[in-house]
Amino acid sequence: MECSTVREGISATLDGEDPGVPMADLEAHVDGCADCAAWWEAAAGITRLARLAPVTEPPAVPERVYARVAAKPGVDRLRWALVLVAVCQFSVVVSQLLMPMPGITGEAHGGHLQHETAAFNFAIAVGLLFVAARPFRARTQLPLLLSFAGVLVFLSIVDVLGGQVGWYRLSGHVPLLLGVLCTILLGFGRWRAPEPGSHVREDAETFTATADAESSRPRRRAKTDRHQPPAAKRVA
């Protein structure tokens, strides 16, 4: 039996198909042919790698996604800015709870109104910290942040025009506005962090063991078996 026929049969066997010749004849040839024995071993190794790699290799996508997030210029600076802004926002909460607020404490139920405001501002600070920790989810916080900031800015303008609010009180809104700005930049700007499952994943997959094994399989086979296409392919 010729080497080419034997290798076609081996290739078909590895693909789980009928080799077309008795298995005993293949083994008998390989016992006496060092080249075909080496070819069989290499082909079996590649097949095993291609089949086992998806199970044994851990997925490489998440690490690469997070690496891209960290490597993207400006993302880290925006995240640290958000942390700083969140700390300022927490300080606003503390000052609202501990210090008298002109315009609120004098009114009826002013004490509870101040507590409500502190609770809102605390939640905003937590939301900003969430964006700093998960920048690729920045846009999930925008409906709340933008609606709160929008209404607050509108009412602040009305109050300023009516002379009902001082600059001291307005300055407490600065951290919120800066936080919203950073969140918009992270969600939509050129610093936008990639989301898991976006195009980055396609890039990353080419580096997984699975893809390497799959892509190397036809290449290596073509090199060693250039003139003998596998029986399965020839039949198809």
CB closer to Zn ion out of 29 and 79: 29
CB closer to Zn ion out of 33 and 84: 33
Least distance (Å) between residue 54 CB and Zn ion: 32
Least distance (Å) between residue 21 CB and Zn ion: 13
CB closer to Zn ion out of 6 and 132: 6
What is the rounded distance in angstroms from the CA atom of residue 6 to the CA atom of residue 228? Answer: 10
CB closer to Zn ion out of 31 and 57: 31
CB closer to Zn ion out of 36 and 129: 36
Least distance (Å) between residue 228 CB and Zn ion: 11
Instruction: Please enumerate in sequence order all residues whose Cβ is within 8 A of that of 103, keeping only pairs 6 or more positions apart, or say none.
Output: 164, 165, 166, 169
Least distance (Å) between residue 34 CB and Zn ion: 8
Least distance (Å) between residue 2 CB and Zn ion: 8
Specify the amino acid at residue 166. G
What is the rounded distance in angstroms from the CA atom of residue 137 to the CA atom of residue 79? Answer: 12
Site for Zn ion in 11-70 (CB under 5 A): 33, 36
Least distance (Å) between residue 39 CB and Zn ion: 8
Q: 1, 3, 42, 209: which one contacts Zn ion (CB under 5 A)?
A: 3
Cα distances (angstroms) measured from residue 47 to each of 36, 210, 233: 16, 11, 16
CB closer to Zn ion out of 37 and 94: 37
Residues of this chain that interact with Zn ion (CB under 5 A) are 3, 33, 36
